[in-house]
């Protein structure tokens, strides 16, 4: 029997999500293999590898166990290094998570809005002017 997956809390994410693609310079995206990193893997690496949090601190922040953080770090780091060594692209998308922040702003028209509690995905564009120059109103932790 598989364990039920626990929704992880993500405190920092690339906004808009469509910008979360990184690739080797000079190679079109349609010919380069892409490693997909989930938002949970991104968040685990962001907290532990970039913010220098302990795995225990990251687990508390994301609302999961320390072994879960350890698994996310293992798979996330593997994908990042595979992309760097093998010259692949990295896309951050998908996963089972909800954002810790709800508020967003638009650089084009200065509109500010909140997403609902049930909306787990980061918005792609401003609901008012459709620009994708948007940002999170909350500073990342
Ligand atoms: Zn706008």
Confidence label for 117 from pLDDT (cuts 50, 70 and 90): low
Ligand 1 mean position, distance from CA 115 (Å)? 15
Contact 141, 13 (CB under 8 A): no
In tens, the pLDDT along 22-74 reads 999 999 989 999 999 999 999 999 999 999 999 999 999 999 999 999 999 99
Domain assignment of residue 80, yes or no: yes
- Please report the pLDDT score of residue 75 as a whole number: 98
Q: Shortest CA distance to 69 belongs to which of 30, 43, 104?
A: 43
Ligand 1 mean position, distance from CA 139 (Å)? 20
- Please report the pLDDT score of residue 62 as a whole number: 94
Domain assignment of residue 74, yes or no: yes
Ligand 1 mean position, distance from CA 127 (Å)? 7
Ligand 1 mean position, distance from CA 130 (Å)? 6
Contact 55, 110 (CB under 8 A): no
Domain assignment of residue 128, yes or no: no
Domain assignment of residue 97, yes or no: yes
Does 135 have pLDDT greater than 90?
A: no
State percent of the chain over pLDDT 70: 89
Residue 56 sits in a domain whose CATH number is 1.10.10
Q: Where do we find the tokens 């002017």?
A: 129
Domain count, the chain: 1
3-state secondary structure of 138: coil
Domain assignment of residue 93, yes or no: yes
Ligand 1 mean position, distance from CA 13 (Å)? 20
- Please report the pLDDT score of residue 5 as a whole number: 66
Domain assignment of residue 39, yes or no: yes
- Stretch 6-25: mean pLDDT, rounded? 81
Higher pLDDT, 101 or 119: 101
Ligand 1 mean position, distance from CA 19 (Å)? 17
Ligand 1 mean position, distance from CA 121 (Å)? 18
- Please report the pLDDT score of residue 94 as a whole number: 83
Contact 43, 132 (CB under 8 A): no
Ligand 1 mean position, distance from CA 48 (Å)? 33
Domain assignment of residue 122, yes or no: no
Domain assignment of residue 110, yes or no: no
Range of the domain at 84: 8-101
């Amino acid at each position: 029997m598989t364990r039920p997956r626990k929704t992880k809390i993500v405190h920092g994410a690339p906004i808009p999500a469509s910008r979360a693609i990184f690739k080797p310079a000079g190679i079109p995206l349609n010919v380069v293999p892409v490693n997909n990193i989930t938002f949970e893997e991104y968040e685990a690496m962001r907290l532990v590898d970039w913010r220098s949090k302990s795995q225990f601190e990251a687990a508390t922040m994301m609302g999961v166990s320390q072994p879960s953080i350890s698994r996310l770090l293992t798979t996330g780091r593997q994908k990042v290094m595979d992309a760097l060594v093998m010259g692949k692209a990295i896309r951050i998308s998908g996963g089972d998570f909800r954002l810790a922040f709800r508020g967003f702003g638009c650089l084009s028209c200065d509109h500010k809005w909140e997403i609902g509690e049930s909306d787990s995905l980061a918005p792609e564009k401003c609901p008012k002017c459709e620009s994708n120059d948007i940002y999170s109103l909350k500073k990342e932790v």
